[in-house]
């Protein structure tokens, strides 16, 4: 992965950290995961 694309992915993770952690907890509990919106960065990759 090119450096600029990696930076975009890392930035997206930082922006959506709360949602990702919520999904992690749901997954551990065996529950259905929340849908995350990727459109805010997918056009730039």
Q: How far apart are CA 4 and CA 34, in angstroms?
A: 28
Of residues 40 and 18, which shows the higher confidence score?
18
Contacts of 37 (CB under 8 A, 6+ apart): none
Global model pTM greater than 0.85: no
Entry field: residues in the chain:
45
**pLDDT, tens digit, for every residue of 20-45?**
999 999 999 999 998 887 766 666 55
């Amino acid at each position: 992965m090119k450096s600029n694309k990696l930076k975009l992915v890392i930035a997206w993770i930082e922006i959506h950290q709360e949602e990702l952690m919520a999904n992690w907890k749901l997954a551990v509990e065996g529950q259905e995961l929340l849908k995350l919106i990727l459109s805010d960065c997918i056009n730039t990759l």
